[in-house]
């Protein structure tokens, strides 16, 4: 295996069945990797937006109560409204953790694709990251 970047239409990416041996196959693979990089950048922003959305959807009184309760580590003896909020918070956090796992896996997949040392793939990753960042980051500063 070459230890430097090469231009080639042949590559095996990530899985045994993903073997490329034609220009068309390479173009398609570059597109898939590009979309993966876009998705990775999007997920990074998506996690923050998800957190904002949940924090906003909680009425401020209960969110402050939530903060107070976790600080004092009080368990049980919660009034029903706070219990419902806790459950919603738990579900949101569990969802966030799943999104985090997906982010970790996609990040590693993109890293392994770059490891193929195929220049087309690498350019696809760079372009995908740029495009993903360009599209996703303005959404961060939106309320």
Partner 1 sequence: PLDHSHHMGIYHMDNSTMPPHHHMTTSHSHGGGDMMMMMPMTFYFDFKNVELLFSSLVINTPGEMAGAFVAVFLLAMFYEGLKIAREGLLRKSQVSIRYNSMPVPGPNGTILMETHKTVGQQMLSFPHLLQTVLHIIQVVISYFLMLIFMTYNGYLCIAVAAGAGTGYFLFSWKKAVVVDITEHCH
| Residues contributing to the site for partner 1 (CB under 8 A) | 1, 3, 12, 14-16, 18, 44, 47-48, 51-52, 55-56, 66-67, 70-71, 89, 93-94, 96-98, 100-101, 103-105, 107-108, 110-112, 114-117, 140-141
Q: Which is nearer to partner 1, 114 or 123 (CB)?
A: 114
**Distance in Å, CB of 76 to partner 1, minimum:** 17
CA 85/CA 68 separation, integer angstroms:
13
3-state secondary structure 13-81: CCCCCCEECCHHHHHHHHHHHHHHHHHHHHHHHHHHHHHHHHHHHCCHHHHHHHHHHHHHCCCCCCCHH
Q: Is 117 helix (H, G, I), strand (E, B) or coil?
A: coil
CA 9/CA 14 separation, integer angstroms:
16
Q: Which is nearer to partner 1, 1 or 80 (CB)?
A: 1
**Distance in Å, CB of 7 to partner 1, minimum:** 18
**Distance in Å, CB of 30 to partner 1, minimum:** 17
Q: Which is nearer to partner 1, 12 or 87 (CB)?
A: 12
Q: Phi first, then psi: give them for residue 27, nearest 5 degrees.
A: -60, -45
Q: Which is nearer to partner 1, 27 or 49 (CB)?
A: 49
């Amino acid at each position: 295996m070459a230890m430097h970047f090469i231009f080639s239409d042949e590559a095996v990416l990530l899985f045994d069945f993903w073997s490329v041996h034609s220009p068309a196959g390479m173009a398609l693979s570059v597109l898939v990797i590009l979309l993966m990089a876009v998705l990775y950048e999007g997920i990074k922003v998506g996690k923050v937006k998800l957190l904002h959305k949940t924090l906003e959807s909680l009425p401020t009184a209960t969110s402050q109560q939530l903060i107070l309760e976790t600080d004092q580590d009080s368990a049980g003896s919660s009034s029903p409204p706070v219990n419902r909020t806790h459950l919603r918070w738990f579900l949101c956090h569990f969802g966030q953790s799943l999104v985090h796992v997906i982010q970790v896996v996609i990040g590693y997949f993109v890293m392994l694709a770059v490891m193929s040392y195929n220049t087309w793939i690498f350019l696809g990753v760079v372009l995908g990251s740029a495009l993903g960042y360009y599209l996703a980051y303005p959404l961060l500063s939106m309320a």
